[in-house]
Structure 1
Amino acid sequence: MSSNTTYALAAVALVLIGAIVFAAYQWGNDGPPPVRNEGYGPVHDPAVQVSTTPDGVIRLGRPDAPKTIDIFEDPLCPACGVLETSYGQELAQKVDEGKLAINYHYVTFLDDQSKSKDYSTRAFAANLCVAQAGSGPTYGKFHETLFTTRQPDEGGADLSNPALATIATESGAPESVASCITGGAQLDAARAAAAKNLADLDTRTGNKSATPSVYDGTTKIDWSDENWVVTLAP
């Protein structure tokens, strides 16, 4: 069996695992969790910073936040949209209060489920462009928008680079960020980082990667428990 075929089969398996997990989540609940802290919005304290590591992990939070959690997500993942819709505002308040920081680890195994066949990678690259500008509130707004009101449906039309750039500008990013997105400046970095993030998630899950996955250190968090955020950061 060729390596290309092996990778293709592995990608299909990962998509199926994610779909099964999401279906099981919906089956076990009478719909998505309620929206927590509705009306708070995304991060808006200017003291909140955003930065990227050499491995492409995006950190959102105050430098002295006492707790940092890790969230693995794919920009096209429907359950990731549920996570952001239901808990994003509560997380934002904890970040603004300095109680919590978030490391976002993007994976892109749903690329083939997008019409363009590379939406997850392009959206990750756009996140890197916005994050490297350094404004926590701008990044928070951009991230929230991509996973809620503007998240594409699997198999449907997705967002072009100019559309992603427009969302970045509307979120408060400067023109240099829009140029970074439309020019695809971070695409190679996104591809490399996504591979590392997936390897990290595979290690954590015993090669049963699925998104979203939330970790407090090495402990996997059950985000279907509606009190998980306040439990982590009272």
Structure 2
Amino acid sequence: MGGAERTARKQRQQKAARRAVAQARGGDANKKMIVAVIGIVVLAAVVIGGVLWTNSSKNTTAGQDVTPQTDRVVGGQVVEKRDGAVVLVGKPGVKQVVDVYADFLCPACGQFQELYGKKIEDKVNNGELGVRYHMVPFLNKNSDPPGYSLESANAALVAADFGKFTPFHDSLFKDQPEEGKRGYDKAQLIKLGQGLGITDPKFAEGVNGGSYEKQLIDDFSKTVNDPNFKGTPTVVYNGARVEYGDPGWLDKMLGAGKG
């Protein structure tokens, strides 16, 4: 084989080697591109799935009825009287009266109601205790959309005008929405009232029209300046804040009041 042939053969081999390297590199690039595309698709699926799950979780109260707590009623001779933005529940002439400040969206208020709600109501029904309920829009911006704290408080005041504050109050805490998510809309609040036996169309008018919302806002602006108010729930008795961490606080409070 002559020198020219050897040179030509060598050149062909070098070209073939370069083509092989180029093809290998191209294959690697294609593989990398495929992996990248798959990664993007998987990420998109995760993001979309997360958004769908978040929206579903946020809207768990949509289309859901609040279960009417029809067994939670005031006893004989117990009166529910709305005074502005406050509802007094108790027998006429009751001597020991406690103020309870709560928000229907507040998780701690829900826990307070679960722990002490029935105990308080039993003492109201037997004449030992009266309660001034202050349903405050403390977390009004913390629902999605905002406004549930105010709308639910207003609906509870309207329910009080029809003697249904206690079961309405207890029903909203029993099926309490999660803070940061959707509350119940006005139609759902109206349906709850109807489920508790309120048939007068003025109830729906009061809920839809926000009859007491201005009073609630004005009253709350005073409440936040009260040194006893430390957020929700707050319990005040004889002008002093009550520490309710002790499970026996209610009996101790009433016992001290009798002394």
The bucket for the TM-score relative to the shorter chain is 0.7 to 0.9
Q: Which residue of 2 aligns with 1:103?
A: 132
**Does structure 1 conserve the Cα–Cα contact (< 8 Å) formed by 2:82 and 2:161?**
yes
Residue-pair matches, total = 184
- C-alpha deviation, 1:228, in angstroms: 1.6
Give the TM-score of the pair, scaled to structure 1.
Answer: 0.73
- C-alpha deviation, 1:107, in angstroms: 2.2
Within a 5 Å distance, the mapping from 1:172-211 to structure 2 comes to 172-175=197-200, 176-200=202-226, 203-205=227-229, 209-211=230-232
Q: Which residue of 2 aligns with 1:45?
A: 75
Among 47, 72, 78, the alignment partner of 2:101 is: 72
- Matched residues in 2 for 1:173 and 1:222: separation? 36
- Matched residues in 2 for 1:198 and 1:127: separation? 21
Q: Which residue of 1 aligns with 2:50?
A: none
Q: Deviation per CA, 1:144-192, whole angstroms, max 9, x where unpaired?
A: 11122x2110111110011111112222333322331133222222222
Q: Equivalent pairs: percent with the same residue?
A: 27
Aligned partner of 1:109: which letter? F
Q: Which residue of 2 aligns with 1:129?
A: 158
Q: Does 1:86 align with 2:134?
A: no
Q: Deviation per CA, 1:96-119, whole angstroms, max 9, x where unpaired?
A: 001101011222121111012111
Q: Which residue of 2 aligns with 1:62?
A: 91
Within a 5 Å distance, the mapping from 1:110-125 to structure 2 comes to 110-125=139-154
- Matched residues in 1 for 2:196 and 2:220: separation? 24
**Does structure 2 conserve the Cα–Cα contact (< 8 Å) formed by 1:169 and 1:178?**
no
**Does structure 2 conserve the Cα–Cα contact (< 8 Å) formed by 1:58 and 1:128?**
yes
Higher relative contact order (CA 8 A, sep 6+): 1
| Structure 1: runs of 5+ lacking an equivalent | 1-40
Aligned partner of 1:158: which letter? G
Q: Secondary structure at the match of 1:111?
A: coil
- Matched residues in 2 for 1:181 and 1:47: separation? 27
Larger Rg computed on CA atoms: 2
| Structure 2: runs of 5+ lacking an equivalent | 1-70
Change (3 A) 1:155 1:51: same
- C-alpha deviation, 1:48, in angstroms: 1.1
Q: Which residue of 1 aligns with 2:52?
A: none
Q: Which residue of 2 aligns with 1:30?
A: none
- Matched residues in 2 for 1:162 and 1:46: separation? 31
- Matched residues in 2 for 1:170 and 1:230: separation? 34
- C-alpha deviation, 1:141, in angstroms: 0.7
Q: Secondary structure at the match of 1:225?
A: coil
Aligned partner of 2:247: which letter? E
Aligned partner of 1:212: which letter? P
- Matched residues in 2 for 1:64 and 1:147: separation? 28
- Matched residues in 2 for 1:197 and 1:132: separation? 23
Q: Which residue of 1 aligns with 2:235?
A: 214
Give the TM-score of the pair, scaled to structure 2.
Answer: 0.66
Aligned partner of 2:199: which letter? P
